[in-house]
Structure formats: structure tokens, C-alpha cells
């Protein structure tokens, strides 16, 4: 007895979902690879017998709520900020000042300090707290 099917049997692979899976995998690896090394350039640097490690210690300029100015831990008058900053950073090749300003001071107080830094050509970084 010979039984034939009405429709011939075709072996089909369901590959439609495979495209979606491959797309998401590719997207995942692209995102993760940029997070792992965002801007890394690998270089073989020359070697030397003697090395000098320069400490990069920024100067901290703190301003309290009642407008008392401190460079690191030394209190200075408001008129002497420019002279004290230039004296503290005179031998530093990359002068960086970390600003720690009380949150209730006005924007004008911050702008006044930053204008002194711009006049002295200093790199100024504003220190903040996490929310």
C-alpha cells in the first residue's frame, strides 16, 4: 500500500528569530566594547634607567558660607587670593585648582573666583557632592 501525502514535505528551518538574536548580540558587544576601553591608545613607551615621578597635587581653594577663603588649609584674605594662588602654583607645570564652594553662595562669588583663575591661566575644577 503506497500512501502519498497531498502536499510534499519541505524541511524548513525557522531562521527569522535568528536574525533578531544576532542583531541584539552584535549591539550588546558593540556597547560593551566601547564601555570597556573608551579612549585607550596602546603604545609601547621607551624605557629609561632613571625616572622621575612628578606628583600631581592640585591646590584646593575652599570658600565657606560666610566667605572665608582657604588655600589648602591656610586661611587667606579675599584681597590676597590672586597672590596666594600664584605663589602656591609657581613651580607646578600643570596648575590645577579644585574649587570647593559652599552651596548657598551666589553665582557671582563663583564667577569672581573663576575670573582670577582665568587671569592666572589656571585649570579650575569645581568639586561637588553626590545627590
Q: What angle do CA 74, 78, 80 make, to 5 degrees?
A: 70
> Is 25 a member of any domain?
no
pLDDT in tens, 44-85: 455 656 655 545 677 888 888 888 888 888 889 988 888 988
The CATH number given to whatever domain includes residue 109 is 3.30.420.270
Considering the domain boundaries, does residue 121 fall inside one? Answer: yes
Residue 36 lies in a domain: no
d(CA 37, CA 74): 40
How many domains does the structure of the chain reveal?
1
Q: How confident is the model over 82-116, as pLDDT tens digits?
A: 898 888 888 777 788 888 888 778 888 888 888 98
Residue 27: per-residue pLDDT: 92
The whole domain housing 82 covers 59-126
Amino acid at each position: 500500500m503506497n500512501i502519498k501525502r497531498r502536499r510534499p514535505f519541505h524541511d524548513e528551518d525557522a531562521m527569522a528569530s535568528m536574525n533578531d538574536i544576532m542583531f541584539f548580540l552584535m549591539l550588546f558587544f558593540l556597547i560593551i566594547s566601547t564601555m570597556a576601553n573608551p579612549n585607550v591608545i596602546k603604545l609601547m613607551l621607551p624605557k629609561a634607567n632613571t625616572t622621575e615621578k612628578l606628583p600631581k597635587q592640585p591646590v584646593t581653594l575652599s570658600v565657606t558660607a560666610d566667605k572665608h577663603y582657604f588655600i589648602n588649609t591656610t586661611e587667606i584674605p579675599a584681597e590676597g587670593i590672586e597672590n596666594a594662588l600664584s605663589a602656591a602654583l609657581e613651580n607646578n607645570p600643570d596648575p590645577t585648582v579644585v574649587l570647593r564652594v559652599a552651596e548657598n553662595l551666589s553665582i557671582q562669588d563663583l564667577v569672581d573666583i573663576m575670573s582670577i583663575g582665568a587671569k592666572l591661566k589656571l585649570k579650575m575644577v569645581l568639586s561637588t557632592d553626590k545627590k
